[in-house]
Amino acid sequence: MSDRLNGRVGFVNRNDPNSGLYIIMLLLLGSQVLGGRQLPPAKQIVTVLGCFVIAVAVHEFMHAFVAMKLGDDTAERQGRVTLNPVSHFEPFGFFGMLMISLGYNFIGWGKPVPVNPSRLRAPGFFNGRRGMVLVALAGPLSNVAMAILVAIPLRMIWDQNAGNPSEVFRVMLWFFWVNALLASFNAIPIPPLDGYRILVGILPAFWTRILAPLERYGFLILILLFFIGNRVGSSSVTNAMISPISELIYRLLP
C-alpha cells in the first residue's frame, strides 16, 4: 500500500503516531466479543445509548456556547452552538458509545468543538490561552449539573423502587450514570480530554511547551491506559483516576 493511500485512509500512516489506533481498538473489542459476554436487554441498550447521545450533545454544546460568549465564533460559524445531536455526531465516537451500551469496555466521544484560544476574551485571569479553562470546564460541568438534576428525583423515589424499579427510575438511573461517567472521564488530564485543557490553561505558559508532546501521543496513551490498564492489577488505572469525581457525585444518592 502506498504512503499516499495510507495517508488518505488514515489507518496506517508512519508520519502519524496515532495511526492504526482504530484498528487496535477494533482488535481489543474483538477480544472482548470472543470472550462470550452476554448482551444486556435491548431496552437497556437503547436507553443507555439514548442517554449518551443527549449527554454528549449537551456537553459539546456547552463548549461551543461558552467559547462564543467569550468572543470566539469559530464553533458558531460551524453550526455547533446547538443541542441537535446530529451537529455533534462523530462516527467512531458514536460507535464507541454503542459498544459501551452493549456492555463492552470502550471509549465514546462527540465531534470535537473547534476553539481559537487567541480570540477568547474574559475579565481578569481568563483571557486567551487561560480562557480555554472556562471552555474546557463547561463540558464536564454540564454533565455534573445533569447528574445532580436527575439525582434529586432519584433520591425522592429511591425507597419505592429499591425492590421493583420502574422504567422511569431505570432511565433516570442510567442518565445519572452516563453523566457521572462523562464528567469523571473527561476530567482526566490527558489530551484530548478536557482535563488536559484545564491543566494547561492553569499552569504557567512555559509548561505548554513541556507538555506539547502529549498532544501528539495523548490518544495513544489514553487507549493504553483504558484497555491495557484494565488487565493489569486488581483495578484499572483509568478507574483510579476517575473514582474521586465519580464517588463525589454518587454520594448524592442514598
From the list 60, 90, 215, 247, the catalytic residue is 60
Distance, CA of 95 to CA of 85 (rounded, Å)? 14
How far from 125 is each of 130, 138, 196, 201, 204, CA to CA, in Å? 7, 17, 18, 10, 12
Distance, CA of 240 to CA of 203 (rounded, Å)? 23
Coil, strand or helix at 37: coil
H helices of 34-120, where? 42-69, 74-77, 91-101
Active site residue 60: yes
Contact 118, 74 (CB under 8 A): no
Place of cell 470566539: 72
Give catalytic residues, as residue numbers.
Answer: 60
